Amino acid sequence: MSGLNGLTLAVPRGALMRDTLALLDGLGVDTAEVRANDRKLLFEDAGIVTMRPSDVATYVEAGAADLGITGKDVLAEQSERAVYELLDLRFGACAMVVATTAGEDRLAESLRRLGVMRVATKYPKIATRHFERTGRQAEIVEVNGSVELAPLTGLAEGIVDLTATGTTLRENGLVVREEILASTARLIANPVAHKLKAAALDDLVARMREALRDG
Amino acid sequence: MSTIHPTPSGTRDVLPDEMRELHAVVESLRGVFGARGYGEVRTPALEYEQVLTRGDPAAADPAYKLFDEQGNVLVLRSDMTIPIARVVSSRYADADPPLRFCYVAHAYRSVRPQRGQDREMLQAGIEVVGVPGPEGTAEALTVLCEALDATGLEDYRVGLGDASLYPALLDAHDVDAGARAAILRELQARDFVGLERAIDGLGLGSDASRTLLDVPQRRGGAAVLEEVGASADGLRGVYAALPAAVAGRVIFDLGLARSLGYYTGAVFEVYDAALGVPLGGGGRYDDLLGRFGRDLPAAGWALNVERLHIALVGERRGERL
């Protein structure tokens, strides 16, 4: 078998896309059209659909794609999605962290003096779970972008966000206080496709494993 | 000037066009149930909580509780298997087995916000009580396929696994209770990356680790059973007892883990290429009736009628995964 074995794969646009396409090239999938085309979303010949990483689990769960590649951070935030997690693809490494402004830990101070701390994040479920698990009362403020702004403007005392190199945090004067979860890209599958297309799927997973080992 | 009055999220009205189609599906199912000697029962949607949790505290998992005028806690049933276990022990205490029941009834589950999940779903299913495996399991699977055939569904397959197989494998490798719970949790969550890490953490030899990781990922034809030796004897027995038409629908799936806790042996799920989610499922639960005072082996299944209807429409439109 070759290429994607006739399976449909949801490919994440953004930070994970380059490594995803490199992996697919190694499997003999023709990704030239995907690379050449920024606006097109559906590549039927290659068996690829492209979308935001946070939508991948949604498409795969519904069976609109047989397989998908997305970050563990997305899967942890959407932990209720009924999808199979098949393979750690190892690229796209980053960490979900708690960060505050440098100097005294404002979160700890708020918790001690006010009994609750305000945390801004794009990942409300991961943040809520983390503070519940560690027995701290937190008010989660959901924002959609540039989370680093929240502690600088007084919207919140700290943030829960994803960081790969820490550059953005540093440039905004923030320091990491805790690591919640280490994330890498994962291969996920629809539960029904996992049964009905078992041979095609297992062969593809085996070839991906091999490519990761060699690469 | 009209006003929109909403229904609770996850519930809906069914209007005549859809109702006619659902009715046709249900009547096809009922025709098979009747011909096979299954008697239809109706039980109350509301049960005493202490009765349902006797079946299985986790399985009962009632999402909706209320108090009656005496302060008793009532729950909306989350499936029909446990109410039927109650019926068998209370109303058929002296009846000679086997007993065969069917139902078409609503069950109630909690929903997660913004997922478009159903709070209230229509289930059609059977329970065959007092026929041990493999014959009882084979009968349940045969009636399942006849019922699906009767609705006109064409491309369905039945995933067949064994709830006792993987735990037995863990026992055979002397996995301690704590690690065992963690491993079963990863399997239940369908997370094979997490499963691999949990197994690597056991520090077993590489052969044993490979076996523990590979077995639950094996799916396919009868050849799948050859590699797991005596632990698959239960599944071999069921397979041997199936008529050819039913056996041809089976995909063995050694990692199949159903979310309900009362299964003791064979478990199965129904898949159709026109829908990304299972249409229903069931299995063997030989310990459940004993908890209600009549120690009889039993097996059963339920189909989600609305999902079955969606799959039927999808097949006719030519939709495929």
ipTM value for the complex: 0.86
Structure token digits, residue B142:
């045969």
Nearest to B148 by CA among B245, B77, B51, B71: B245
pLDDT in tens, A20-70: 999 999 999 999 999 998 889 999 888 999 999 999 999 999 999 999 999
Pair (A103, A72) in one structural domain: no
**d(Cα B274, Cα B317) in Å, to the nearest integer?**
9
In chain B, % of residues over pLDDT 90: 73
Q: Say if CB B254 and CB B161 are below 8 A apart.
A: yes
Nearest beta carbon to residue B278 from set A80, A86, A192: A192
Q: What is the CB-side half-sphere exposure of residue B307 using CA atoms within 13 A?
A: 23
Whether A79 is covered by a domain: the verdict is yes
Mean pLDDT of A139-165: 95
Is residue A42 located within the same domain as residue A84? yes
Whether the per-residue pLDDT at B143 is higher than 60: the answer is yes
Contacts of B163 (CB under 8 A, 6+ apart): B257, B258, B263, B264, B265, B266, B267, B283, B284
- Give the CA distances from residue A142 to residues A121, A134, A166, A182, in Å, rounded to whole numbers and listed in that order: 5, 20, 21, 21
- Categorize the per-residue pLDDT at B258 as very low, low, confident or very high, splitting at 50, 70 and 90: confident
Same domain, yes or no: A188 and A83: yes
Full strand arrangement of the beta sheet holding B65-67: B46-48, B73-76, B65-67
What three-state secondary structure class fits B189?
A: coil
- Is any Cβ of chain B less than 8 angstroms from the Cβ of A82? yes
Question: Is B61 a residue whose pLDDT tops 70?
Answer: no
Residues B285-297 have pLDDT tens digits of 999 999 999 999 9
Label residue B113 by pLDDT band (50, 70, 90): low
How high is the pLDDT of residue B260?
Answer: 64
Domain residue limits, chain B:
16-155+272-317, 175-216
Q: Are residues A86 and A188 in the same domain?
A: yes
Cα dist from B300 to B101, B108, B142, B262, B270, whole Å? 9, 18, 11, 12, 13
- C-alpha A106/C-alpha A151 separation (Å) is 9
Is residue A1, in this structure, part of any structural domain at all?
no
Q: Let me know whether A87 and A103 are in one domain.
A: no
Do A48 and A123 sit in the same domain of this protein? no
Task: Tell me whether residue A88 is in a domain.
Answer: yes
How many folded domains does chain A comprise? Answer: 2
pLDDT exceeding 90 applies to what percent of chain A? 93
* Burial label, A133 (beta-carbon count in 10 A; 0-12, 13-18, 19+): exposed
Q: Please say whether the beta carbons of A139 and A118 come within 8 A.
A: yes
Matching residue, tokens 């999220």: B9
Instruction: Say yes or no: domain B16-155+272-317 is CATH 3.40.50.150.
Output: no
The answer to whether B64 contacts chain A (CB < 8 Å) is: no
Show the tokens assigned to B47.
């049960």
Contact of A87 with chain B, judged by CB distance below 8 Å, is answered with yes
Number of Cβ within 10 Å of residue A205's Cβ equals 17
Q: Are residues A176 and A189 in the same domain?
A: no
Q: Tell whether A188 and A176 lie within a shared domain.
A: no
Q: For the beta carbon of residue B253, count every other beta carbon within 10 angstroms.
A: 25
**Which of B157, B189, B276 shows the shortest C-beta gap to A62?**
B276
- Asked if A191 lies within 8 A of B192 by C-beta distance, the reply is no
Query: Which chain B residues have a beta carbon less than 8 Å from that of A4?
Result: none
Say yes or no for a CB contact (<8 Å) between B321 and A63: yes
The pLDDT confidence band at residue A1, using thresholds 50, 70 and 90, is low
The percent of residues above 70 in pLDDT, for chain A, comes to 99
B220 has a chain A CB within 8 A of its CB: yes
Same domain, A106 and A81: no
Mean pLDDT, all residues of chain A: 94
- Does residue A3 form part of some domain? no
B271 vs A199: CB contact, 8 Å cut-off? no
Range of the domain at A188: 9-92+184-214
Query: How far apart are the C-alpha atoms of B70 and A25, rounded to whole Å?
Result: 68
Tens of pLDDT, residue by residue over A171-195, are: 999 999 999 999 999 999 999 999 9
Check residue A11 and give its pLDDT.
97
pLDDT of residue B229: 82
pLDDT tens by residue, A132-145:
999 999 999 999 98
